[in-house]
Structure 1
Amino acid sequence: MAISLNNRLSPQVSLTPQLQQAIKLLQLSNNELEQELAKAAEENPLLEFEPNPEIESNLSQSNERIEVAQNNWSNSSPVSQDDEDWVERHERVAHKQTLLEYLEEQIQLLSIPSQEQSLLAYLAGCLDDRGYLVDDLESINAEIGAQLMGSARSAMERIESGLKILQTLDPPGVGARNLAECLSLQIDRILHEQKHNADEWALAKRIVNTHLNQVGSKDWPKIKQACGKSQAEVMKAVECIRRLQHNPGGQFEREHDQWVLPDVVVKPSRGKWVVESNPSAKPRISLNTEYARILNENGGKKADGALKQKMLEANWIVKNIAQREETILKVAQEIVARQQTFFSMGAVGMRPLVLREIAESVNMHESTISRVTTQKYLACPLGIYEFKYFFSSQLSSEKGGAISSTAVQALIKKIVEGESSTKPISDTHIAKLLNDQGYVIARRTVAKYRESLRIPAVHLRKE
């Protein structure tokens, strides 16, 4: 055997402590940032921190909160340029991301044709609140199969392939058709990501697929006999199963709404909508000038080594906070530039937008844009919105056009508003009306959009 040495250059990214801190601060919400800076000031005497009175008052005045749903389409027209009273009303309730919105966000990032993305979005709309696919594939094929024709594969093959892709998304287990498949999908993910305890997880998968009923009835002897394993091995596998999530969508169930302080404010100016930083959200942190002066005067002494390190860390935080504000404002400006019609017309004017578009414009990675748009909010005359709200999947039209999923929600709202109170329109009828306009929308997607808009079911709207 010949042994040789080869020189190879390979790119490696080394995350310095300063870069790690910048990434961490960027993904924090204003409330979380406030806590992080307070902790940093306690540990570093060179930092001066003043608590934000806006955040403190929000936390203490829970009984005076005004609820504004993030994705609630408003019929009210924007305020005039002279009426800026809305700018002062920063206390708002943040909308909690739904399972469907979370899946649509991931679908946008997949490197697949737009037609396949539309199919995945359709399948995501067929999931129930647990994340299970309750409609059988034959029913789905009967509903949309005609729109999927024209490729080398049959409509059913494309649906089955789309479901497999959907099942690879987070949360693990989503897209399953029953509990056994849900648990099996999670085990497959675990086996792929880790190598230790592989035998236990492999046995757990076998039990899930063939003896799940016996697990429920605790019939351990029957499982042990069928699998040819010892009692101890079976119990270890069962313990693995118990650690799995039976309800993947459970984390998206509505909880108590969260208060937020907008990072930026959107205002009308000379016929356009422009973005400004919200001064009330600006972190109040700076260097302690007295300690800095002492350090500068005694910088050459070895005894000041620890103080120098504290000064270095304090400078990092101050600079990273400034960089965080600059990045948030830059991303907000790009979002608003692309969604001008939204601020003038409401959700019906929302255009399709993906993270990649913003990333390319500001010369940043998509993962950075994802951090910037999570738990960052803008205030405008229509309400308070998380940055992520302005990213929506594209639904293709048979006429060749395109519309965002957010705009579809606005259309659903408009259809319901125009219905007869004695004869309200069902979700199936709404889906048909949208299909007649060229937009292929599943009935279950209509139902989910209706629920997110907080519109009651058809039998509750009938007078």
Structure 2
Amino acid sequence: MKPSLVLKMGQQLTMTPQLQQAIRLLQLSTLDLQQEIQEALESNPMLERQEEGDDFDSPDPMADGAEKTTENTTETRQETTYEETINTVENLEEGEWSERIPNELPVDTAWEDVYQTSASSLPSNDDDEWDFTARTSAGESLQTHLLWQLNLAPMSDTDRLIAVTLIDCINNQGYLEESLQEVLDSLDPELEVELDEVEVVLRRIQQFEPAGVGARDLRECLLLQLRQLSAKTPWLSEAQRLVSDHLDVLGSRDYSLLMRKMKLKEDELRQIIELIQSLNPRPGSQIEASEPEYVVPDVIVRKHNDRWIVELNQEAVPRLRVNAQYAGFVKRADSSADNTFMRNQLQEARWFIKSLQSRNETLMKVATQIVEHQRGFLDYGDEAMKPLVLHDIAEAVGMHESTISRVTTQKYMHTPRGIYELKYFFSSHVSTSEGGECSSTAIRAIIKKLVAAENQKKPLSDSKIAGLLEAQGIQVARRTVAKYRESLGIAPSSERKRLM
């Protein structure tokens, strides 16, 4: 086929750099947005925080939100809003230079190709500025905690080597994953270590904190914890006997057989089981290796005069404005490198503020519609939650479902009932006998309530729960009840059986 040049006309949708930035800011969580704003403040001299009671050395009234020309005048100070800042900069543009900064960039360009944004900034290689440990540090692991105790224990070099090997074989739950023979085989044969020595070192490790660490199975884990209790603990010897000889019967919850084998009354067996249940079957979980994660609510909902009011959390995100002093340095009809840089930074600052304003407006619209739709939940709790999908909110606010998904991801709402992610208010529905709908969140709340009120000697099965829901007009299959029960972390009826 002979190559040739052909001219074609067509249309396609392309996102401008401004739109790309707005979408990126929209899907950031509050903590990520705070970091993004901090990086923007460090990289763009035209941006500055607006703090309450600011007092700049310059008598420039624009620093307090009033409109100004290039002349320095003294006016009444007032609080600056995003819109006032943008209008001020636009008035400054008309008075300072004739050619206006373009409102849009070409669609075939990328934001990083034109401006030095905070997203494209890389950490400095200077050791004084870049702290690697600040980005990679984590909480203490179980192995680190055990090694710290090992350093305090007097041991020979050989025993210490065995102890380090054993600690490496302990998982995050606190159990020894390898057998003692496998640990012995992994040691250097020249050490001439015997199996009894490995077991003795293991006994030393099992005396470390947390209690029960280094156990090879659940029975040994519970016995280790019982041995560390005071000898005056009531029913201690009976609990040790039960764990040592009848743990499998206790696991099957055959209390009648337990009472016959141990020759105990029901009340005595109940107290022994309570003592065993106070132990931790996963001792290693007490040592948290990951850093704690904090949640900052984006929206605050409160009730005032029988009306639910939605407000943005102003303390979560710092307020920004354009630095009037630097903006005044921009000269008209000046194409020097310094002036071009300052103009680009000024335009980037304007777009950044506009993107933050758009993010706040979109978040307020979505949160207001969610509160309007879920008033029953705010008034009465989970059982009054209504079915809601992204399409419902998208139609109400006139946006696409993908935009609603971005807004509701990692965004949190503070309500009198607690802090919830916005996605928590969206749930599927099932039909009712009256032709209505009931949300899956409400069904979970009802199941949780039924299980909490059940007879612990005869817990409700999934089929029985489905029958009780059907009596309330909610048509749910048994397997659906099982799915909801598992999502709530509720054990099956056979495992919920208790002694009164």
What TM-score, normalized by structure 2, do the two folds share?
0.47
CA contact (8 A) 1:427 1:443 kept: yes
Q: Distance in 1 between matches of 2:7 and 2:32?
A: 48
- Per the alignment, residue 364 of structure 1 pairs with 399
The structural deviation recorded for 1:371 is 0.6
1:344 aligns with 2:354: no
1:309 aligns with 2:344: yes
Distance 1:339 1:7, change over 3 A: same
CA contact (8 A) 1:347 1:406 kept: yes
1:275 aligns with 2:310: yes
Residues 247-289 of structure 1 show CA distances to partners (whole Å, capped at 9, x for unaligned) of xxxxxxxx98732111111111222322111122233433233
The structural deviation recorded for 1:457 is 4.2
- Per the alignment, residue 462 of structure 1 pairs with 498
1:293 aligns with 2:322: no
Counterpart of 2:498, as a letter, is K
Residues 18-72 of structure 1 show CA distances to partners (whole Å, capped at 9, x for unaligned) of 0000000000000111122222223222222589xxxxxxxxxx99xxxxxxxxx
CA contact (8 A) 1:330 1:362 kept: yes
The structural deviation recorded for 1:453 is 3.3
2:488 to 445, 450, 453: 453
Residues 123-171 of structure 1 show CA distances to partners (whole Å, capped at 9, x for unaligned) of xxxxxxxxxxxxxxxxxxxxxxxxxxxxxxxxxxxxxxxxxxxxxxxxx
Counterpart of 2:336, as a letter, is K
CA contact (8 A) 1:378 1:386 kept: yes
Distance 1:440 1:299, change over 3 A: farther
Distance 1:310 1:431, change over 3 A: same
Kindly report which structure 2 residues correspond to 1:14-413, keeping only aligned pairs within 5 A, or say none. 14-49=14-49, 258-295=293-330, 297=331, 300-303=334-337, 304-413=339-448
Distance 1:461 1:31, change over 3 A: farther
Counterpart of 1:426, as a letter, is S
CA contact (8 A) 2:456 2:496 kept: no
CA contact (8 A) 2:50 2:321 kept: no
1:431 aligns with 2:466: yes
> Aligned to 1:275, what secondary structure does the other structure show?
strand
The structural deviation recorded for 1:416 is 1.3
- Per the alignment, residue 89 of structure 1 pairs with none
Residues 379-405 of structure 1 show CA distances to partners (whole Å, capped at 9, x for unaligned) of 111000111111111111243121011
Q: Distance in 1 between matches of 2:310 and 2:476?
A: 34
- Per the alignment, residue 89 of structure 2 pairs with none
CA contact (8 A) 1:27 1:374 kept: yes
Q: Distance in 2 between matches of 1:45 and 1:421?
A: 66
The structural deviation recorded for 1:301 is 4.2
> Aligned to 1:286, what secondary structure does the other structure show?
strand
Q: Distance in 1 between matches of 2:409 and 2:497?
A: 35
The structural deviation recorded for 1:423 is 1.9
Q: Distance in 1 between matches of 2:39 and 2:497?
A: 50
Counterpart of 2:37, as a letter, is L
Counterpart of 2:375, as a letter, is Q
Q: Distance in 2 between matches of 1:401 and 1:274?
A: 28
Q: Distance in 1 between matches of 2:13 and 2:313?
A: 34
- List runs of 5+ in structure 2 lacking aligned partners: 52-137, 140-289
Residues 90-140 of structure 1 show CA distances to partners (whole Å, capped at 9, x for unaligned) of xxxxxxxxxxxxxxxxxxxxxxxxxxxxxxxxxxxxxxxxxxxxxxxxxxx
The structural deviation recorded for 1:306 is 1.7
Q: Distance in 2 between matches of 1:301 and 1:41?
A: 25
1 or 2 for the larger relative contact order (CA 8 Å, sep ≥6)?
1
Residues 346-379 of structure 1 show CA distances to partners (whole Å, capped at 9, x for unaligned) of 0111111111111111111111111111111111
Q: Distance in 2 between matches of 1:263 and 1:437?
A: 37
Q: Distance in 1 between matches of 2:475 and 2:21?
A: 45
Residues 224-265 of structure 1 show CA distances to partners (whole Å, capped at 9, x for unaligned) of xxxxxxxxxxxxxxxxxxxxxxxxxxxxxxx98732111111
Distance 1:257 1:345, change over 3 A: farther
The structural deviation recorded for 1:421 is 2.6
Distance 1:361 1:332, change over 3 A: same
Distance 1:25 1:380, change over 3 A: same
Q: Distance in 1 between matches of 2:299 and 2:376?
A: 18
Q: Which has the higher helix share?
A: 1
CA contact (8 A) 2:447 2:465 kept: yes
Counterpart of 1:269, as a letter, is H
Residues 201-228 of structure 1 show CA distances to partners (whole Å, capped at 9, x for unaligned) of xxxxxxxxxxxxxxxxxxxxxxxxxxxx
Q: Distance in 1 between matches of 2:391 and 2:349?
A: 34
Q: Distance in 1 between matches of 2:292 and 2:474?
A: 32
Q: Distance in 2 between matches of 1:319 and 1:263?
A: 18
CA contact (8 A) 1:37 1:49 kept: no
Distance 1:256 1:38, change over 3 A: closer
Q: Distance in 1 between matches of 2:292 and 2:424?
A: 16
Counterpart of 1:462, as a letter, is R
Which moves more between the two structures, 420-429 or 323-332?
420-429
> Aligned to 1:18, what secondary structure does the other structure show?
helix
- Per the alignment, residue 233 of structure 2 pairs with none
The structural deviation recorded for 1:341 is 0.6
Distance 1:321 1:267, change over 3 A: same
Q: Distance in 1 between matches of 2:418 and 2:368?
A: 17
> Aligned to 2:346, what secondary structure does the other structure show?
helix
What TM-score, normalized by structure 1, do the two folds share?
0.51
Counterpart of 2:14, as a letter, is S
CA contact (8 A) 2:386 2:439 kept: yes
Percent sequence identity is: 48
Q: Distance in 2 between matches of 1:18 and 1:433?
A: 55
> Aligned to 2:345, what secondary structure does the other structure show?
helix
